[in-house]
């Protein structure tokens, strides 16, 4: 018995975990820190379940608050120039890369989700795209969702489908899986901050909210399961700005707001 207990000795201790977390946390973001802690806990939990350890010392490490990074996204004209530069890059897949960028930006898909969207999932009659995710693992939250085609998306897909009319329904609607090098090159040429494939998902959400779509709806389109909590953290400032702008259109007078101001000035004079 004593020998068995010795085999299940302290090994990695609570103090070891806390000291390591303090060092690791100095140069890590809250998100990276929490993800790493989660992995450590799962690894040590395997030891507990198999009887190698009595406890999981990583459970004493407190998670850190996560501050969503505010993406530095291009404006409309800048995005148009960015995609045009990708399309005219002169490489064999320049056109396909530009189509991929538009597809991600117009639908807010994760790159892994778009990889599995076929022509069969693009319903032009209903104006929706079905997102099923990987055939084996599904989407990130394991749920199938539908994303409506915004006008730019419908135009893009109709053009691509006309160019690829001979492709069967089970063919992926995209021809390339990623194009980060082309995006980096184009961003540098047009003078905009570097963006990633995932930033295009942020761009979709931003444009939707700026156009007046409520955050709860945008959250569903993105495939969030938290009722919009994450979207509020990331895009809440856009909602607030939009609310202020919309409030300027509310009046209890038949006169336009500028007319009201003019009448007040005349009265005061």
More confident residue, 60 or 232: 60
Q: Are strands 145-148 and 122-123 parallel, antiparallel or unpaired?
A: unpaired
Mean pLDDT of 184-207: 94
Identify the pLDDT of residue 29: 78
Domains and CATH numbers, the chain: 2-60 (no CATH), 76-246 (1.10.443.10)
Mean pLDDT of 142-170: 94
- What pLDDT digit, counting tens, does each position of 116-138 carry? 999 999 999 999 999 987 666 55
- High-pLDDT (> 90) share of the chain, %: 54
**pLDDT beyond 80 at 227:** no
pTM (predicted TM-score): 0.67
Highest mean pLDDT among 53-57, 97-101, 108-112, 216-220: 97-101
CB 45 within 8 A of CB 56: yes
DSSP the chain: -HHHHHHT--SS-HHHHHHHHHHHHTTS-HHHHHHHHHHHHHHHHHHHHTTS-S--GGGGSPPPP----------HHHHHHHHHHHHTS-STTHHHHHHHHHHHHHH---HHHHTT-BGGGEETTTTEEEE--BTTTBSTTS--EEEE--HHHHHHHHHHHHHTTTS-TTSBS-S-S--HHHHHHHHHHHT-----HHHHHHHHHHHHHHTT--HHHHHHHHT-SSTTHHHHHHHHHHHHHHHHHHHTT--SSSS-HHHHHHHHHHHH-
């Amino acid at each position: 018995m004593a020998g068995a207990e010795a085999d299940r000795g302290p090994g990695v201790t609570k103090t070891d975990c806390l000291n390591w977390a303090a060092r690791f946390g100095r140069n890590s973001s809250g998100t990276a820190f929490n993800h790493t802690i989660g992995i450590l806990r799962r690894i040590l939990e395997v030891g507990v379940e198999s009887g190698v350890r009595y406890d999981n010392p990583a459970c004493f490490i407190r998670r850190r608050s996560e501050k969503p990074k505010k993406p530095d996204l291009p404006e409309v004209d800048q995005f148009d120039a960015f995609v045009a530069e990708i399309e005219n890059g002169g490489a064999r897949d320049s056109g396909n890369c530009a189509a991929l960028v538009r597809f991600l930006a117009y639908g807010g898909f994760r790159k892994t989700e778009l990889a599995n969207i076929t022509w069969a999932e693009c319903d032009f009659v209903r104006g929706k795209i079905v997102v099923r995710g990987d055939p084996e693992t599904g989407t990130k939250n394991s749920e199938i969702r539908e994303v409506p085609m915004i006008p730019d998306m419908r135009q893009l897909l109709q053009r691509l489908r006309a160019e690829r009319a001979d492709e069967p329904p089970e063919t992926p609607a995209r021809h390339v899986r990623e194009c980060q090098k082309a995006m980096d090159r184009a961003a540098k040429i047009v003078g905009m901050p570097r963006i990633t494939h995932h930033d295009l998902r942020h761009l979709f959400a931003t444009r939707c909210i700026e156009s007046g779509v409520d955050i709860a709806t945008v959250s569903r389109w993105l495939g969030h399961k938290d009722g919009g909590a994450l979207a509020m953290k990331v895009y809440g400032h856009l909602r607030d700005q939009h609310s202020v702008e919309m409030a300027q259109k509310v009046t209890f007078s038949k006169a336009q707001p500028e007319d009201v101001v003019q009448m007040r000035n005349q009265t005061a004079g």
